[in-house]
Amino acid sequence: MNLTNIINDILPGKTNYLVGYANLKNLMPEKYRGLDYAVVLARKLDDRIIDAIIDGPNIEYYTHYEEVNLELAKVAHGLADAIRLEDSKSLVIESTIEDEDLDENYFKTLRLDFSHKMAATRAGLGWIGKTALFISKIFGPRVRLVTVLTDYPLPYCTNPINESRCGSCDLCVQHCPAQAANGKLWNIDVDRNEFFDPFGCRNKALELSYQNFNKEISICGKCIAVCPIGKIQR
């Protein structure tokens, strides 16, 4: 199977995508056992829409967010089907899980049993920023992620990213309306809760979303808008 050719045939608007391959053996729960390899797709968000949320989330951002999630799901399921046609197993982990599909543990911890960000760092696509965003090397945090797990032995990244490359920049920390970040740099030995308060972020995002466009959803995006990595200079 030439996975690169399959991906090139499936991806719409190739310049808006990053693709990485990861070996996740021993890094996932038992339920994913045997699906040790991952194809991680990062789809770039629209710069104009992201720039506009410097003042907080709006309905256009929410609509774009939903549309990109649907596009990623379609692409990922197409890839998973192509992998299965080659007699290999595959499983799509979609970008967003609906609240009704989340378990009690999630609402206690705000952690899922699979992390797209972890897969993306293992695939060498980027690192975790000071507000727990995934920051890709090319597009910065202006991306949404989807992952396809498989048992097919992919030519995975042998140089995963293990620590932050944010350095002394703290624009996201300064502009966080929830004051959810303390500025500590991420690395693979630092737990998210040591540098970021996910509950403070979620609660403020819920408040802003309802206030700005009357939706009970936790999206904000101000830290995405201010990050200089991937931002087009005008």
According to DSSP, residue 28 is labeled: S
- pTM for the full predicted model: 0.93
Q: Which distant-in-sequence residues (6+ apart) come within 8 Å of 146 by Cβ?
A: 40, 41, 43, 72, 73, 75, 76, 92, 93, 94, 95, 116
Give the whole-angstrom CA distance, residue 155 versus residue 142.
Answer: 26
d(CA 59, CA 153): 41
Looking at residue 234, its pLDDT comes to 52
3-state secondary structure of 11: coil
Q: What is the pLDDT of residues 199-217, one digit of tens each?
A: 999 999 999 999 999 999 9
What does the pLDDT look like over 8-62, one tens digit per residue? 788 866 789 999 999 999 999 999 999 999 999 999 999 999 999 998 999 999 9
Tokens of 34: 């045997």
